[in-house]
Structure 1
Amino acid sequence: MKFDRVWFRNFRNLKDQSIDVSYKQVFLIGENGQGKTNMLEVLYFLCYGNSFRTRNLREVTRHGSDDFLIGAEFHDVHEDSREIILKYVEGKKTVLLDGREIKDRREVIYNIPCVNFSYDDIDLIRGEPEFRRNFFDQSLSMYDPLYLDDLRHYKAVLKQRNAAVKTNMKQMMETYNLLLARYGLRIQKARNEACSVLNMIFPDFYKNIAEDGRNLTLSYRPSWDGLDSEEKIAEYLGENWERDQRMFSTTSGIHRDRFIIYDQNGLFQNSGSTGQLRLASLILRTAQAAFFRRQTGMNPVMLIDDVMLELDSRRRGAFLEQLGSYSQAFFTFLLDEKYFSGDSDESSKCYHVINGQFEAQR
């Protein structure tokens, strides 16, 4: 699976154009603010149907415009040639897959599974628990549509239960408790299994790349720890109805789960330096790609945005070695960076990005 050609109109600062990206490795070279990350955002949009930077689609529309359009020709996981178009017109987002309008985003995300490496990924290590929950949810949803369905159902029931809590609709409590327990328990089990698998990958990756003597461990702390059946969870929710009323929300559930990263010194986010935390976030994304390969036998598309800038030559080499196989990778670099060898072979293409214009380099 890979992108073959990408086009865009009225998207951020990018000039309206169509670009040949039918290469295993695509290098986007340029100074900051020229449009390299915007290009990766286009690709992410086409993989997931949304942006990794904003939920407000007006923000990605070029200044002075009211709409935008992005699209691509690509080969999907079955190596079939496809076309996807995403457009935003009059405040409405529309996705077309091979000319057919897509109503459900799940029809988009399984065509080109991608792993996105971003400078903001440090929040996966030191940010609020929600960032790590979202990381695990994305890791599982990339290949498991049943998990995605359970997550959607859980969020819908949670919203209904929260409304019932606020208005004291106790007659609905039992129904909502049972539904929340059903979907939540399945999500909890999947998260627990995913954490176990990632714990066999992430610590070794960190040890091989960082070589700083720290032994990292991922730990899953479910909100419903020790509750191993739908009946027990539903009963627990019922017992806490009055507490939930005082807090105006459901105070337990998978939306309160925590994922902890610690080492021999305790919480890693408290003892690690900023450089170590940033490196760990980069390695966690690498582990996400390895997790996807392990679960599916497929190689994802990689979007790697300037994250190697702070790595010394040894760690950069170790990172690229640990990165593993990919079906396609897009790298962004500054002009004066020495990106890895292989940039001149036939499987690679380099574009110089200047003011949103992509100029092919020989």
Structure 2
Amino acid sequence: MHLKKISLFNYKNFGDAVFDFDSKINCFTGRNGIGKTNVLDAVYHLAYGKSYFNPMAVQNIKHGEDFFVIDGAFDKDGRDEQIVCSVKKGQKKILKRNGKIYDKFSDHVGLIPLVIISPSDRDLITEGSETRRRFIDTVISQLDAHYLQDLISYQKVLVQRNALLKYFAANRTVDKETLGIYNEQLNALGQPIFEKRKKFLSDFIPIFSKHHHAITDSAESVQLVYQSDLSDKDFLELLDENFDRDRVLQYTSAGIHKDDLSFEIDGHPIKKFGSQGQQKSFLIALKLAQFDFVKKRSGEKPILLFDDIFDKLD
């Protein structure tokens, strides 16, 4: 995968800018605040249909303007691909491939394999489980369109089940039949997601460990520990067991939407026991493993973006 050119119109601090790229290594240098990271984020935007740093699309529009456009020209296995992403205030985001508008953004995921390494990756350590689930889902979805569709469908059913629980509480009633339908749907979608996450991590962890050892060359050991409610119990059984609790909370308290990935160093949470340098090495190894994993499984070398990676290294 080779990004040949990118054009930015009213994107963040850029009014009108064009960048041409070599097929190998490209570097941006300059003082702080000139927009180096913003160029990388624009490239990410074309791969994923959203910003890596600010998911609120309209907030990426240049101050004083009412739209932005990112236009990228790629070479994918000798085939030209033009990807255009545009946002106008008050309107839906538009993502186009070779002039054709996508009906669903999910259809675009995986076309442009890309990995970014940034100081913002520290959120994977400091933020909640949703951030780490998103990392797992991002990697798998780049390679498995069915996984992404199951994930989207699961979230829709989850929202419906939670709405039903709120209805039960508001009306002091229970409809076991309707609840059972949602439970069956969550199970049918959630179980394959759990199995694919588990398989992914069993393949991914050795790659991560290899990169971490190469970066640190130290005796410390690091672990990625998958934590899921489904590891010990059947999903339907979990839903039944937690029904009374769910009625009180008015949301579904168990399931793959509660999965987490524990980051550990020598058996302890790296968030509490790792230095800034150790955390940074951990995250770089994680992202390099992502690069290798996607490259091996897709047969295509992803675009690799580095943003100030030597910050906070011991």
TM-score by length of 1: 0.81
Report if aligned partners of 2:280, 2:313 keep a CA contact under 8 Å in 1. no
Alignment partners' CA distance in 1, 2:225 and 2:45: 31
**Which has a greater percent of helix?**
2
Report if aligned partners of 2:53, 2:120 keep a CA contact under 8 Å in 1. no
Cα displacement (A) at 1:103: 1.6
Q: List alignment gaps of at least 5 residues for structure 1.
A: 313-362
CA RMSD of aligned residues (A): 1.6
Equivalent residue number for residue 171 of structure 2: none
Cα displacement (A) at 1:297: 2.4
Cα displacement (A) at 1:268: 2.5
Match of 1:16, SS state, is strand
Match of 1:32, SS state, is coil
Match of 2:23, SS state, is coil
Equivalent residue number for residue 223 of structure 1: 229
Alignment partners' CA distance in 1, 2:231 and 2:154: 18
- Please show how residues 4-43 of structure 1 align to structure 2 within 5 Å: 4-43=4-43
Alignment partners' CA distance in 1, 2:139 and 2:200: 8
- Please show how residues 112-123 of structure 1 align to structure 2 within 5 Å: 112-123=112-123
Match of 1:29, SS state, is coil
Cα displacement (A) at 1:291: 1.4
Match of 1:200, SS state, is helix
Q: List alignment gaps of at least 5 residues for structure 2.
A: 169-173
Alignment partners' CA distance in 1, 2:86 and 2:121: 27
Equivalent residue number for residue 214 of structure 1: 220
Equivalent residue number for residue 350 of structure 1: none
Q: Give the structure, 1 or 2, with the largest relative contact order (CA under 8 Å, sep 6 or more).
A: 1
TM-score by length of 2: 0.93
Equivalent residue number for residue 127 of structure 1: 127
Cα displacement (A) at 1:311: 4.1
- More displaced, 261-270 or 111-120? 261-270
Cα-to-partner distance string for 1:79-109 (whole Å, 9 max, x where unaligned): 3112111111242211121111112113322
Report if aligned partners of 2:15, 2:62 keep a CA contact under 8 Å in 1. no
Report if aligned partners of 2:277, 2:313 keep a CA contact under 8 Å in 1. no
Structure 1 segments (4+ residues) deviating >4 Å: none
Equivalent residue number for residue 144 of structure 1: 144
Change (3 A) 1:309 1:261: closer
Equivalent residue number for residue 80 of structure 1: 79
Alignment partners' CA distance in 1, 2:42 and 2:268: 39
Match of 2:28, SS state, is strand
- Please show how residues 250-265 of structure 1 align to structure 2 within 5 Å: 250-265=252-267
Report if aligned partners of 1:47, 1:114 keep a CA contact under 8 Å in 2. yes
Report if aligned partners of 2:228, 2:258 keep a CA contact under 8 Å in 1. yes
Report if aligned partners of 2:84, 2:96 keep a CA contact under 8 Å in 1. yes
Alignment partners' CA distance in 1, 2:32 and 2:121: 18
Equivalent residue number for residue 299 of structure 1: 301
Tell me the amino acid that sits aligned with residue 137 of structure 1. D
- More displaced, 125-134 or 283-292? 125-134
Cα displacement (A) at 1:23: 2.6
Report if aligned partners of 1:174, 1:238 keep a CA contact under 8 Å in 2. no
Alignment partners' CA distance in 2, 1:283 and 1:217: 12
Identical pairs, percent? 31
- Please show how residues 113-192 of structure 1 align to structure 2 within 5 Å: 113-168=113-168, 170=175, 171-192=177-198
Equivalent residue number for residue 277 of structure 2: 275
Report if aligned partners of 2:10, 2:67 keep a CA contact under 8 Å in 1. yes
Alignment partners' CA distance in 2, 1:204 and 1:250: 38
Equivalent residue number for residue 284 of structure 1: 286
Report if aligned partners of 2:278, 2:313 keep a CA contact under 8 Å in 1. no
1:243 aligns with 2:238: no
